Amino acid sequence: METKAQDALVRPSVLPSSHPSGDKRFKMLDAAMKRHQFQSDALLEVLHQAQELFGFLGDDVLIYVGRALKAPLARVYGVATFYNFFTLKPKGAHTCTVCLGTACYVKGASEILNGLREKYGVKPGETTGDGKLSVVVARCVGACGIAPAVAFDSEVTGKQTKARVLERLVPWMERT
């Protein structure tokens, strides 16, 4: 039955020293887990690190982390899906984050989202078909003084409008 197979996945007899794929990022993840002495308390820190390395938390990464920290896959998956920050799907090459905090909302952030939907056909949380652009919403990036705020990848910009965002997106997406 499936339970047995899962059990084998979650509780291996030997701790994996690194991933069979030979992917170096797993070695870096190992180092991060070692820093926390493979304590399952450090699950959030380890998932943060994993997402930074891989860009998203795929099944293999979650299984790998669960094994190393001796945490049931149910708990790893539970934590990974509980927090908004973790994503289980790969993101596009670029991410446009529209802040939907109260200050941004009353200053018209939803107009910006409408503009993105009209032009690229993506709703918050989605990625364009060509994998170039992901649109996400943030609960509040704390840039309320310069609302509405929009982040192009990690660069936060303030006082945005629909027109300004759409204008900026084109050259920005060309960049690699």
Residues of this chain that interact with another protein (CB under 8 A) are 39-45, 47-48, 75, 78-79, 82-86, 100-103, 105-107, 138-147, 149, 154-159
> Measured from the CB of residue 50, what is the shortest distance to another protein in angstroms?
12
Q: Which is nearer to another protein, 10 or 132 (CB)?
A: 10
Q: Which is nearer to another protein, 21 or 39 (CB)?
A: 39
CA distance readout (Å), 128 to 28, 38, 85, 87, 134: 30, 38, 20, 16, 6
Question: b/e map of 89-106 (b: 16 or more CB within 10 Å)?
Answer: eeebbbbbbbbbbebbee
Report which residue type is found at 12: P
Q: Which is nearer to another protein, 24 or 83 (CB)?
A: 83
> Measured from the CB of residue 4, what is the shortest distance to another protein in angstroms?
26
> Measured from the CB of residue 1, what is the shortest distance to another protein in angstroms?
27
Cβ neighbour number for residue 62 with a 10 Å cutoff: 20
Q: Which is nearer to another protein, 23 or 72 (CB)?
A: 72
> Measured from the CB of residue 32, what is the shortest distance to another protein in angstroms?
13
